[in-house]
């Protein structure tokens, strides 16, 4: 899990937008090998969409070969209702960029057979080759898409009844009248999200702080469906400082230090090549040269093989996301020359303390 913490919503959105742009560029999508992007609605991704549109207009990114799948849609409100997720997506993103309308997929909450609609949506995702990057937001109760508390972590796209808390939270978009808020939605499942090759979630504001805490510091739990991210190989949460309010100080310092150390080492994030370029491309293989020696008839020892590393430009020498290096708060207590002073550990060791007291007294 990567947790990226930024000062405010603007800088968090900036990080996510740039990240998506970098990922699409790296992937180098073509009509036959498009980048498949999962997208959310809600107020949290608004800044990201604004920045993506800005960058598109500045000529820095193209969405021509990007296929999109939205997370969810209300059931029973007209597609052109101002608060439908169709309207939201076209208003804030699609109509401002060069995405091909045929490449846009949003669940139809007015389908005659809602169940069949959901089954077909899963099939469409599969036909598109799976989702390369799923961008998500969360509800205050830690739900991802409309996977409300108690949703099966194995769930797939389906019809979902909304939790009262969600109806209440979303009433702000419906004249603060909960009677106007749809009570059902179509949503991708937790499993659908987990099957994306990469997941990025943006979490902003103090009202999401408890959800973030449950998802980062506690175990996988169907009552906080975002916590399922812990089971994914490449998840990243980007949040603002306000969203960290319920986290332990050491958790915040830990994740900040991870990012700092990575930057000092000269990288932001390195994903395996198959994730960065999609499943269809050939992953460069390390070449092994056999040493030709006609006189050796017995099996050659390992030292007779020359391992020629593939150039870093083609394939990273570090082939996986950097692992989180345990970083104890106690290890940060250093003396003046920067060497850890064991006698001042935050978890006291009585024998060392005694030695120190004795040496100070001498």
Where along the sequence are the contacts to ligand GLP (CB under 6 A)? 40-44, 71-72, 137-139, 145-146, 166
Tokens of 329: 């708060």
DSSP H helical ranges for the chain: 9-27, 46-57, 85-92, 114-127, 164-170, 190-194, 209-217, 249-264, 273-277, 350-361
Q: Is 80 among the residues known to form the active site?
A: no
Closer residue to ligand GLP in complex, CB, 85/254: 85
Contact status, residue 34 vs residue 65, Cβ threshold 8 Å: yes
For the CB of residue 223, give the shortest distance to ligand GLP in the complex, in Å. 16
Q: Is 115 among the residues known to form the active site?
A: no
Q: Is 141 among the residues known to form the active site?
A: yes
Distance from C-alpha of 330 to C-alpha of 161, rounded to nearest angstrom: 47
Burial of 113 (0-12, 13-18, 19+ CB in 10 A): exposed
Closer residue to ligand GLP in complex, CB, 209/262: 209
Active-site pick, 73, 117, 141, 240: 141
Closer residue to ligand GLP in complex, CB, 64/241: 241
For the CB of residue 145, give the shortest distance to ligand GLP in the complex, in Å. 5
Query: DSSP label at 301?
Result: P
For the CB of residue 19, give the shortest distance to ligand GLP in the complex, in Å. 18
Closer residue to ligand GLP in complex, CB, 43/281: 43
CB-based closest residue to ligand GLP:
42
Active-site pick, 86, 143, 198, 242: 143
Active-site pick, 148, 195, 198, 240: 148
For the CB of residue 169, give the shortest distance to ligand GLP in the complex, in Å. 7
Contact status, residue 23 vs residue 199, Cβ threshold 8 Å: no
Q: Is 335 among the residues known to form the active site?
A: no
For the CB of residue 149, give the shortest distance to ligand GLP in the complex, in Å. 12
Closer residue to ligand GLP in complex, CB, 99/145: 145
* Cβ atoms < 10 Å from Cβ of 90: 17
Catalytic residues: 72, 141, 143, 148
């Amino acid at each position: 899990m990567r947790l990226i913490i930024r000062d405010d919503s603007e800088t968090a959105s900036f990080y996510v937008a740039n990240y998506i742009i970098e990922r699409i560029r790296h992937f180098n999508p073509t009509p036959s090998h498009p980048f498949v992007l999962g997208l959310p609605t809600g107020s949290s991704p608004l800044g990201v969409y604004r920045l993506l549109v800005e960058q598109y207009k500045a000529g820095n990114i193209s969405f021509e070969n990007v296929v999109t799948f939205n997370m969810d849609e209300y059931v029973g409100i007209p597609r052109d209702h101002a608060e439908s997720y169709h309207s939201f997506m076209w208003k804030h993103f699609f109509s401002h960029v060069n995405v091909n309308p045929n490449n846009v997929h949003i669940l139809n909450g007015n389908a005659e057979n809602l169940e069949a609609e959901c089954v077909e949506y899963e099939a469409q995702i599969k036909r598109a080759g799976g989702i390369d990057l799923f961008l998500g937001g969360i509800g205050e109760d830690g739900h991802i898409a409309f996977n409300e508390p108690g949703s099966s972590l194995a769930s797939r796209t389906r019809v979902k009844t909304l939790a009262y808390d969600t109806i209440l939270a979303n009433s702000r978009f419906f004249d603060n009248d909960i009677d106007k808020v749809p009570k059902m939605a179509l949503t991708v499942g937790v499993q659908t999200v987990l099957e994306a090759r990469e997941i990025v979630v943006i979490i902003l504001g103090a009202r999401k702080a408890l959800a973030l805490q449950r998802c980062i510091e506690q175990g996988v739990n169907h009552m906080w469906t975002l916590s399922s991210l812990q089971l994914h190989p490449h998840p990243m949460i980007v949040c603002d400082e306000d969203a960290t309010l319920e986290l332990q100080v050491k958790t915040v310092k830990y994740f900040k230090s991870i990012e700092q150390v990575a930057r000092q080492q000269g990288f932001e994030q390195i994903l395996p090549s198959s994730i960065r370029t999609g499943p269809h491309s050939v992953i460069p293989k390390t070449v092994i040269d056999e040493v030709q020696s006609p006189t050796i008839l017995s099996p050659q020892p390992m030292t007779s093989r020359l391992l020629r590393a593939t150039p870093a430009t083609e394939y990273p020498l570090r082939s996986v996301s950097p692992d989180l290096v345990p970083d104890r708060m106690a290890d940060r207590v250093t003396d003046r020359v920067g060497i850890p002073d064991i006698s001042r550990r935050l978890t006291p060791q009585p024998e060392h303390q005694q030695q120190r007291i004795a040496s100070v007294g001498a």
